[in-house]
Amino acid sequence: MSVTRDILACYRRPREVFERRMSGDEGLVLTYAIIAGLLAFVGQLPVWSRQAELLPELGNFASLVYSGFLVLVFVFPLFFYILAALIWFPLRALAGVSGLDIRLSMFWSLLAAMPLWLLLGLTQGLIGPGTETYLVFVLWFIAFLAFFTIGLRIASRNMGTA
């Protein structure tokens, strides 16, 4: 299945999608990380446009886009690699999950939750900070945690049968 179809299917049948997506290598993990970073960048464009218009002391739109691209495409994946390593330390003894499985689960979860991240950026850009933005952020965070938990469960179950 294509990635976009799997992202949509992840909201209906996440276990099936994760079982299919949890077999991969480090190249696939990096691909998911970069695509998630690029989509996070696209999701923040409305926010930076609003900030450039309403808060010019933060900088013009071009400078916000440039710095945001560097952060979201290069620093964002590094942060999540470090987070995956920190999660791996306790889970390697408890659940026997490999670092690759944790990274695959984390980055696929980020990618699968990106439609809500795009909605969050649109909400922040059009409405600004407020209850609506907070609710969309909470929805994104719940979706990410749910997907990540499902991925870890499938990875630990696969380690138990391997």
Mean pLDDT over 116-136 rounds to 94
Tell me, rounded to whole angstroms, the distance of Cα 100 from its chain centroid. Answer: 16
Is 9 within a domain?
A: no
At residue 135, the pLDDT reads 97
pLDDT-derived band at 159 (thresholds 50, 70, 90) equals: low
pLDDT in tens, 13-61: 988 888 888 777 888 888 889 999 999 999 999 999 999 998 888 888 9
* Residue in this structure with the two tokens 């079982």, named with its chain if needed: 19
More confident residue, 93 or 141: 141
- Is 1 inside a domain boundary? no
Looking at the domain assignment, is residue 156 inside a domain? Answer: yes
162 pLDDT higher than 50: no
Structure tokens at 93: 């003894």
Question: Is residue 42 assigned to a domain?
Answer: yes
Query: What is the pLDDT confidence band of residue 152, given thresholds at 50, 70 and 90?
Result: confident
- Comparing CA positions, the residue from 150, 151, 155, 147 lying closest to residue 97 is 155
The pLDDT tens digits for 64-97 are: 999 999 999 999 889 988 998 898 888 777 767 7
Quote the number of domains for the chain.
1
In a domain, 151, yes or no: yes
Structural domain boundaries enclosing 69: 24-161
**Residue 10 domain flag:** no
Residue 91 neighbours by CB under 8 Å, 6+ apart: 97, 102, 152, 156
